[in-house]
Structure 1
Amino acid sequence: MTTVKTLLGLPGLRLRPRAGADLLDRPVTRIYVTELSDPGRYLSAGELVLSGLLWWHAPGDAEPFVAALARSGAAALAASGADSGGIPDDVVDACVRHRIPLLEVPDDLSFSVITEQVVLALAAASDSARKRLQAAAEAPVETLAERASAELGLPCWVLSGLGRLIAGTAPLPIPPEDVVRRYAAREPGPLTLVPVEGRHAVPWLIAVGGPLSTAQVELAEEVAGLVGVTRARAVRPEASPPGEVCVVALRTEGSDESRDVLGELLPDAVLLESSGETSYAAAARPSVAGLSIVEPLLRATRILCGVSDPGPRAEAAESARYAVEVAARRPGRVAVVRTGAVDAHELLLAGAPAGLRAALRRRVLGPLLAYDAEQHTDLVHTVRVFLECSGSPTRAAKALHVHVNTLRYRIGRAGDLLGVDLTEFTGQLDVYLALRAGD
């Protein structure tokens, strides 16, 4: 990494610090020559600004110039006072005030020589940095993040597209899920984001704590490539956790991303099976909170997830299979169903084929459906409300805003049409399952 102190040691430049002697460790990423009185719009972080001070005419002129350097994050100002009898005190004072290192350029030194020397130093440092990074190609992701931070002079993080912090050299300034959301929406933020290339459905991101020069972006991309290789070499567990497990069934409708998403969502889980749109994995305590974060980055039209209760693996897998079918009947682009949070009858019906559910509805409710169609009544709705009120005529009548005697008459008429005693539990159960089969 090239710093301001590095430039002071370049042979033949003879640069002399006039301010900011305690700031010489700042990284330098490029050189920019200007004689504008306010160059702010053209500056970027890490630049060595070279000026002959042609813009300075009187005390006070230095304030807007140096303030612009400070706002942009410039590394230092190298100035020549050959045309003004030396660097004015006004410039020195402004650099001290805004904490900008000030280097005095000898009067007999050409700016072209300085530019050439600095460019060569930056190129050599970039090449050396690339070689040092490549030497760490076999290192863990945590080590690669540390190397990247050292070469770029900025904190670095590696994040999953599910909002999982994989490695980092400092606390993140914003939550990891917000980093991913901003990346998906292409919103600007406090971090520079570089995607990790690969054939994975869920991307990883290199996040750097500040703006980058072109050379720094190239280094960050080099790091991203190395992280991608490390990611591809990762080995998943082959044995299920001991004891009871939860099984997660994940379906990515309209795409074959389920395996990658599930593998990234549960890196410590055991992949059980995968058939393109739907994959299954076993884990001790799975968390699926990242699905809503990654959804904008996927091709899938919907993401459906079923999570079983803990149990023997085969039993848990069947529960997860039924739960994902329940999720398919829920609204939204991301639907998650845990078996413990749904009624048993809903779980059982979800696993029944569509044809079987339709046949059940016709066999049990056929006469009532036909009567409603012919008489323009709604006895089916009346029966459903009655059953959902636990067979209480009083509660059902109140819910339907009718007299309780009217409710009793309708239930009796419906029972006659169905050939079922709707005040008896078994009959109630069959009819309610048939009603729910149409949901």
Structure 2
Amino acid sequence: MQLRDVILSGGPAPFRYLGGGEEGLRRPVLAAVTIDLPDPGRFVSPGDLVLSGLVWLRPDLGRADAFVRIILEAGAVALGAGEAEFGNVPDELVRACERHGLPLFAVGVDVPFGPVAEFVARGRSGARVGNLAALVDRHRRLMASRPGSGAGAGALLDLLLSELDLRAHVLSPTGRLIAGARPPLPERTATALAGRFLAAERSGRRAPHRTAAQGVPYSLFPVRSAPGAGPALTDWAVAVEADSGDWHDERIGLVERLAGLISVERGGRDADRTARRRAAGRLLGLLDSGGTGTGARDRVRDAAGRLAAEAPGGAGRWQAVAARLDGVPGGDGPSPVRDLLEEVLLHPACLGPGAARRIGLAAALDGREAVAFVRAAPGAELTPEAVREAACGALPRGLRGGERLSLGLGDPVADPDDLRHTLAEARSARRVAAGTEAEAEAVAVRGTADMAAHVMSLLPLLPAEVRRAFSRRLLAPLHAYDRRHQSELVPTLRSFLEHDGSWARCGEALHLHVNSLRYRINRIESLTGRDLARLEDKMDFAAALRMD
């Protein structure tokens, strides 16, 4: 806004331009400040239009020169002098403005300063919105031509923060802070806002969604999973610390466009995730193929190495995490469960201190279950408690009645040869999480310890003869084989279970080469018709050994 715009805003009567020339009329006005103090310097900022009723000038007109010099040194661009005090603008003030080159105009007796300041503020806000809209449009065109080449969600938010004087944050559906103002939102506030956003979106309410947390108003704008897509459980949200109920349509539209840009930026960053998923998909396919020969093991090791390269995190142990979303209407369409699982595992509770865990993701063969392979730094293995904290905060608010998200974790394994075991455990734990015992939970998480503790606690409730019969029936072939061949299949089975199905650790404990251990385990599976890669069968063996 220029000084000319202010003087012409009230028509010919209220304002009279007294000096400053044509160049003065072109000076940009950033704000308006009302001052009636003889020493106003500390209240004036560069770009200010100073409005004064001239009370400070009576009775000593000699103060005019000092006043003009002070406000000019502070950065004032013009002086609007009220005529109510003297009936006109004193000549002494006019001459002082001429000497110092400060544009001067008279404000009529009947014109209050408040509306003048409001006019300047509105004009500045409109100019800001217009300039930011142009920046957003340019960025949108860039993103359309070069996906993923933008400055990121953080830089886009900086436009909003700096140009519209707003604090804003980008949140994942689990409440993870992706970008935003400093200081960041408290974790509990972020989780609460994400949950309210999901609930509002799934109820069909129109955005922006207005709410409040800790006494602060927020307006929640959706960042769609894909540009132009409809509402989804995997949408992010822009949480603006303001009540958009007082905004004009142009301002709301601007934030919506910015949210759309973040959506484009989000989609453009998927190249590395696609590579991880491709590597994890190959590993999953090899594990599901059931091959156990030397060639199959080498292929699994190679696929695990490729996944580790795509999601580097240093040496560590592997874990599998399985997830499935059931009860969603239109269940024949693509399931969002893979994206949901990724959002859960990217939550700080799951990543661990210093992002100590790295993930690779793949969709299971039935298309409804997702599997993640987590590679954790030593001592940072993933726990059901961490997954529960990440998944059960905000996500349940986005699930309608009958919709359930179930997650299961396998135990950590150090050797890629043991990946099939942690995968089987994760899938079994997920099936338990989805079972009838967890029907009241919209999001249920289970690990192998949860399952084992549950099953073992039920054993004393069975009649003694039933327990003995179960143990004899399952272990009898192994005891008979050991007696006949002077072998140690039963002790081998016990050690294998005690070492969580780890070939390397079990072989070391028994002083056996891994190939010899594999021969014994294969013999155990052949004699009993069970599969020690399945968690259910391992639990049956553990129960039988306890009763043996």
| TM-score bracket for the superposition, by shorter chain length | 0.5 to 0.7
Aligned length: 304
Structure 1 runs not aligned, ≥5 long: 27-78, 87-103, 348-383, 392-410
CA gap of 1:17–1:328, structure 2 versus 1, over 3 A, is same
Is the CA contact (8 Å cut-off) linking 1:196 and 1:204 kept in structure 2? Answer: yes
**Superposed displacement of residue 109, structure 1:** 8.9
| Alignment pair present for 1:388 and 2:460 | yes
C-alpha offsets along residues 181-208 of structure 1, whole Å, 9 cap, x if unaligned? Answer: 3433664332222221344532211122
- For 1:47, the equivalent position in structure 2 comes to none
Aligned partners of 1:24, 1:204: CA distance in 2, in Å? 42
Q: Secondary structure at the match of 1:322?
A: helix
Counterpart of 2:251 (choices 210, 216, 234) is 216
Aligned partners of 1:125, 1:193: CA distance in 2, in Å? 22
- For 1:195, the equivalent position in structure 2 comes to 222
- For 1:265, the equivalent position in structure 2 comes to 344
Aligned partners of 2:243, 2:86: CA distance in 1, in Å? 36
Aligned partners of 2:25, 2:257: CA distance in 1, in Å? 27
CA gap of 1:23–1:317, structure 2 versus 1, over 3 A, is farther
Where is the helix percentage greater, Structure 1 or Structure 2?
A: 2
- For 1:140, the equivalent position in structure 2 comes to 152
- For 1:49, the equivalent position in structure 2 comes to none
Amino acid in structure 1 at the alignment position of 2:345: L
| Alignment pair present for 1:107 and 2:108 | yes
Amino acid in structure 1 at the alignment position of 2:412: P
Is the CA contact (8 Å cut-off) linking 1:252 and 1:302 kept in structure 2? Answer: yes
C-alpha offsets along residues 344-374 of structure 1, whole Å, 9 cap, x if unaligned? Answer: 8959xxxxxxxxxxxxxxxxxxxxxxxxxxx
**Superposed displacement of residue 221, structure 1:** 1.6
Is the CA contact (8 Å cut-off) linking 2:337 and 2:370 kept in structure 1? Answer: yes
- For 1:153, the equivalent position in structure 2 comes to 165
Q: Secondary structure at the match of 1:249?
A: strand
C-alpha offsets along residues 27-79 of structure 1, whole Å, 9 cap, x if unaligned? Answer: xxxxxxxxxxxxxxxxxxxxxxxxxxxxxxxxxxxxxxxxxxxxxxxxxxxx9
CA gap of 1:426–1:16, structure 2 versus 1, over 3 A, is closer
- For 1:125, the equivalent position in structure 2 comes to 128
- Greater mean alpha carbon deviation, residues 325-334 or residues 270-279: 270-279
Q: Secondary structure at the match of 2:243?
A: coil
Q: 1:166-181 residue pairs with structure 2 within 5 A?
A: 166-175=178-187, 176-181=190-195
Aligned partners of 1:303, 1:105: CA distance in 2, in Å? 69
Q: Secondary structure at the match of 1:225?
A: helix
- For 2:395, the equivalent position in structure 1 comes to 294
Q: Secondary structure at the match of 1:201?
A: coil
Is the CA contact (8 Å cut-off) linking 1:202 and 1:294 kept in structure 2? Answer: no
**Superposed displacement of residue 224, structure 1:** 0.7
What value does the CA root-mean-square deviation take over the aligned residues?
4.8
Is the CA contact (8 Å cut-off) linking 1:251 and 1:304 kept in structure 2? Answer: yes
Q: 1:193-342 residue pairs with structure 2 within 5 A?
A: 193-198=220-225, 199=229, 200-212=232-244, 213-214=247-248, 215-235=250-270, 236=273, 237-238=275-276, 239=279, 240-241=307-308, 244-255=317-328, 256-267=335-346, 269-274=359-364, 275-285=366-376, 286=382, 287-288=386-387, 289-292=389-392, 293-299=394-400, 301-311=403-413, 312-329=418-435, 330-331=437-438, 332-342=441-451
Is the CA contact (8 Å cut-off) linking 1:193 and 1:206 kept in structure 2? Answer: yes
**Superposed displacement of residue 309, structure 1:** 1.4
Q: Secondary structure at the match of 1:162?
A: coil
Aligned-pair identity in percent equals 25
**Superposed displacement of residue 258, structure 1:** 0.8
What TM-score, normalized by structure 2, do the two folds share?
Answer: 0.46
CA gap of 1:324–1:196, structure 2 versus 1, over 3 A, is same
C-alpha offsets along residues 398-434 of structure 1, whole Å, 9 cap, x if unaligned? Answer: xxxxxxxxxxxxx6xxx8xxxx57667725989x96x
CA gap of 1:423–1:158, structure 2 versus 1, over 3 A, is closer
Is the CA contact (8 Å cut-off) linking 1:159 and 1:205 kept in structure 2? Answer: yes
| Alignment pair present for 1:426 and 2:471 | yes
Amino acid in structure 2 at the alignment position of 1:127: G
**Superposed displacement of residue 313, structure 1:** 3.2
- Greater mean alpha carbon deviation, residues 223-232 or residues 121-130: 121-130
Amino acid in structure 2 at the alignment position of 1:220: V
**Superposed displacement of residue 140, structure 1:** 1.3
Aligned partners of 1:208, 1:163: CA distance in 2, in Å? 14
Is the CA contact (8 Å cut-off) linking 1:192 and 1:208 kept in structure 2? Answer: yes
Aligned partners of 2:403, 2:152: CA distance in 1, in Å? 34
Amino acid in structure 2 at the alignment position of 1:167: A
Amino acid in structure 2 at the alignment position of 1:152: L
C-alpha offsets along residues 230-258 of structure 1, whole Å, 9 cap, x if unaligned? Answer: 11112215243365321111111123221
Aligned partners of 1:422, 1:179: CA distance in 2, in Å? 51
**Superposed displacement of residue 149, structure 1:** 0.9
Aligned partners of 1:284, 1:261: CA distance in 2, in Å? 19
**Superposed displacement of residue 24, structure 1:** 7.1
Aligned partners of 1:16, 1:207: CA distance in 2, in Å? 32
Is the CA contact (8 Å cut-off) linking 1:306 and 1:337 kept in structure 2? Answer: yes
Is the CA contact (8 Å cut-off) linking 2:195 and 2:396 kept in structure 1? Answer: no
- For 1:400, the equivalent position in structure 2 comes to none
Q: Secondary structure at the match of 1:282?
A: strand
Amino acid in structure 1 at the alignment position of 2:256: E
Q: 1:334-413 residue pairs with structure 2 within 5 A?
A: 334-343=443-452, 387-388=459-460
